[in-house]
Amino acid sequence: MTETAHIPGVAVVTGAAGGMGQEIVRKLHADGNRVGLADIAVDKAEELAKELSTDGSTARALRLDVSKREDFVRALKDITAEWATPTILVNNAAVTRAADLMTLLEEDFNQVLTTNVDSIFFGCQVFGAAMADQGYGRIINMASLAGQNGGTATGGHYAVSKGAILTTTKIFARELAGRGVTVNAISPGPHDLPIVHQTVPADKLDKVIEGIPVQRLGDPAFIAKTVSLLADEDAAFVTGACWDINGGLYVR
């Protein structure tokens, strides 16, 4: 029996230039995928892409403002022309901000909602349609514990946006399931990331950790492994799901 040669997948990760995005990019690339690093901070994305692939054959940067549908359309066109229609999309980009709920300004509310919700919706819509046309795809949306418990350290606008991501995941999972495309969400609690340390003052972070049943922050590398698992070909029976990784802060 002749063994079939491995054909690497084509993955696109939004918010790829830093934090959780970098961890996800590194893991998907290590898995053998060609990876498009999509970010509005294209210079930082380019640095990581060159680190992973000096000749750009397996990693390349894409400028993508996730609040704009046309940017998703352009990114899809570019990555398809360069490699092939993507088989994996990780909607990771988000704005994380703390804010006082009762004095939250309309402008700030709309900016967070537009970035965090529009990015998921249009990513699923634009890339999902292309994946459905080829009969295969894996979409993973990064939600948050804040969207499940109403948030604690982050602002109300952030919690609202992450709750909407869970609903958006279900909508597209149902729409695309019959065409070989799965759509799932991962809902992390507090993780050991720069954005967490920037958002939560050190004295308050200690109290946050004390309130986590497992008494520690999460490891971003494990989130990347979870993305990899949901992106696997064998994950065909998982769709419309939300995988909670929160140290026991939210159980159901």
CATH of the domain at 216: 3.40.50.720
Task: Report the domain count for the chain.
Answer: 1
Q: Tell me, what amino acid is at 159?
A: A
Residue 218 pairs in a beta bridge with 191
Note whether residue 180 is domain-resident: yes
C-alpha to C-alpha distances, 157 to 71, 114, 167, 188, nearest whole angstrom: 24, 10, 16, 17
Q: Calculate Rg over the CA atoms of the chain.
A: 18
The two tokens of residue 201 are 């003052």
Measured CA to CA, the distance from residue 181 to residue 174 in angstroms comes to 10
Measure CA of the first residue to CA of the last residue in the chain; give whole Å. 47
Measured CA to CA, the distance from residue 121 to residue 68 in angstroms comes to 11
Note whether residue 38 is domain-resident: yes
Measured CA to CA, the distance from residue 140 to residue 173 in angstroms comes to 10
Angle between helices 19-30 and 220-230 (to 10 degrees): 50
The catalytic site residues sit at 158
Note whether residue 128 is domain-resident: yes
* Residue 182 CB neighbour total at 10 angstroms: 23
The reported pLDDT for the residue numbered 153 is 66
Report CA 77 to chain centroid distance, whole Å.
20
Note whether residue 90 is domain-resident: yes
Note whether residue 5 is domain-resident: no
Note whether residue 2 is domain-resident: no
Low-confidence residues in the chain, pLDDT < 50: 1-6
Q: Are strands 88-91 and 137-142 parallel, antiparallel or unpaired?
A: parallel
The reported pLDDT for the residue numbered 95 is 84
Name the residue among 65, 62, 73 with its Cα closest to residue 115. 65
The two tokens of residue 18 are 């830093």
The residue range of the domain holding 202 is 10-245
DSSP 8-state code for residue 216: S
Name the residue among 50, 146, 56, 51 with its Cα closest to residue 98. 146
Q: Tell me, what amino acid is at 239?
A: T
Note whether residue 203 is domain-resident: yes
Can you tell me whether residue 118 is helix, strand or coil? helix
Note whether residue 108 is domain-resident: yes
209: exposed, middle or buried (Cβ count in 10 Å: 0-12, 13-18, 19+): middle
